Amino acid sequence: MRFVIQRLCEVSGSATAAASNCIKTATLSSSGTVEGSTQGTVTYGGGALPPPMTIYYRVTVRVMGPRNTQSFVQAILR
């Protein structure tokens, strides 16, 4: 069995850097509103609090079986 974990960012380095361009759960637009999923956000009054940024990872697993069979599984984690 072998596996690879990939952080879904365009460049290596810090995930919080602006140039990393990582895939995240939600983003804050220039107008101050949350874009993307609002699941799990807490509201107080009229405005929603922005959710924490969570980076996505892709896990690929390859299993070698009998008679040279191969199985591949991929999952996206956050």
Q: What is the pTM of this model?
A: 0.59
Q: In whole angstroms, what separates CA 53 from the centre of its chain?
A: 9
Amino acid identity of 45? G
Compute the distance between CA of residue 66 and CA of residue 37 in angstroms, rounded to an integer. Answer: 43
| pLDDT single digits (tens) 1-44 | 999 999 888 888 777 777 778 877 665 555 555 555 555 555 55
